[in-house]
Structure 1
Amino acid sequence: MPAQTKPQNPQTPVTVRMFTQRFSSTRLGARLARHLAVQQLDGWGIPYGTDLSDAAALIVAELAANAVTHGRVPGRDFELRLTLTDDTLRIEVSDARAEKRPREVTPDGESGRGLLLVAAFADRWSVLDRVPVGKTVRAEIALPRRAHR
């Protein structure tokens, strides 16, 4: 008698939404990045004023401010990328500064507290090399089930 096999479970399709925009490396560019990020999230079903939207706005604001303040190269923009999957919101801010790693952040340090906020609101964050030059700071927030449409 031939062995019976269980039917394979088909993989559930994953929806991936992406938003990418370059901004001038100015304080106005950083504010615009935050505003457009929450507007995009609202369009994706993460309403303004929710905990997730507010956390994302804070992370974008801190990373964009860092890109403008510490990662600025005259004449070069910074880039914001949002990626939304069924279980994760990824926020990436890239700049052209050659220094790849932020300084060690301590609660009583004179600067760098913004990264402590990023660490508090993101489930994980990291700094990646950017090709051809610069760095990308990536923060990810795990989504609760049905956090967006």
Structure 2
Amino acid sequence: MNHATPPQVTSPTSTFTQLLSSTRRGARLARLLAVTELRSWGTSQDLTERAELVVAELATNAVLHGRVPGRCFRLTLAYDPAAGRLRVEVSDARGDLGPRSLPAGTEPDPLSTTGRGLTLVTALADHWDCVPHPPSGKTVRALLTTPSEA
């Protein structure tokens, strides 16, 4: 006797994309929009808070290091609730200048006001990387997951 296999039901992935000005105001707006969107999707408080900090760092880096006059940066969020996985992407126009994290075992200068952003992203995200964004930019991607409940 053959049994029909029921179709797999997949939960839809929620996505959000926004172009923002490459200014401090644009970076701040990226953070605020991300939090608003994640809350509307019902993400956990822990995931929302970690994502808020990751978006703030990546958007600030896009403004400070990826800015090309007259060009915006793009924030993209993709949330898969079934997997508890959030992908944060920030694309800017400067593909020639990639992100650099500190070498393992090195600490940032304690008197410096910069240099800790990617260390923070590394601590909060499960994984992050940087890929080319044609025609001349780059996209920094961070993956955050919710802890599995055992």
TM range (shorter): 0.7 to 0.9
Q: Deviations over 1:50-107 (max 9, x none)?
A: 2111100000000000000000001100000000112210000000003252224244
The answer to whether the Cα contact below 8 Å between 2:101 and 2:118 also exists between their aligned partners in 1 is no
For 1:97 and 1:30, the matched residues in 2 are separated by 16
Which residue is equivalent to 1:17? 14
Aligned residues of 1:100 and 1:127 also touching (Cα < 8 A): no
CA contact (8 A) 1:125 1:138 kept: yes
Larger of the two Rg values belongs to structure: 1
Per the TM alignment, residue 45 of structure 1 is displaced from its structure 2 partner at its CA by 0.7
Please tell me whether the aligned partners of residues 90 and 139 of structure 1 are also in contact (alpha carbons under 8 angstroms).
yes
Counterpart for residue 108 of structure 1: 107
Instruction: Check conservation: 1:98, 1:135, Cα contact below 8 A.
Output: yes
Aligned residues: CA RMSD: 2.0
Identity level (%): 50
Task: Name 1:37's counterpart in structure 2.
Answer: 34
Measured in 2, the distance between the counterparts of 1:9 and 1:141 equals 31
In the alignment, the residues of structure 2 paired with residue 10 and residue 105 of structure 1 have an alpha-carbon distance, to the nearest angstrom, of 47
Per-residue deviation, 1:140: 0.6
- TM-score, normalisation: structure 2: 0.84
TM, length-normalised to structure 1: 0.85
1:55 paired to 2:50: yes
Unpaired runs of 5+ residues, structure 1, are: none
Partners in 1 of 2:148 and 2:108 — Cα distance?
37
1:142 Cα shift?
1.5
Whether contact under 8 Å (1:38, 1:53) holds in the other structure is: yes
Contact 2:94 2:138 in 1 (8 A): yes
The answer for the alignment partner of 1:127 in structure 2 is: 130
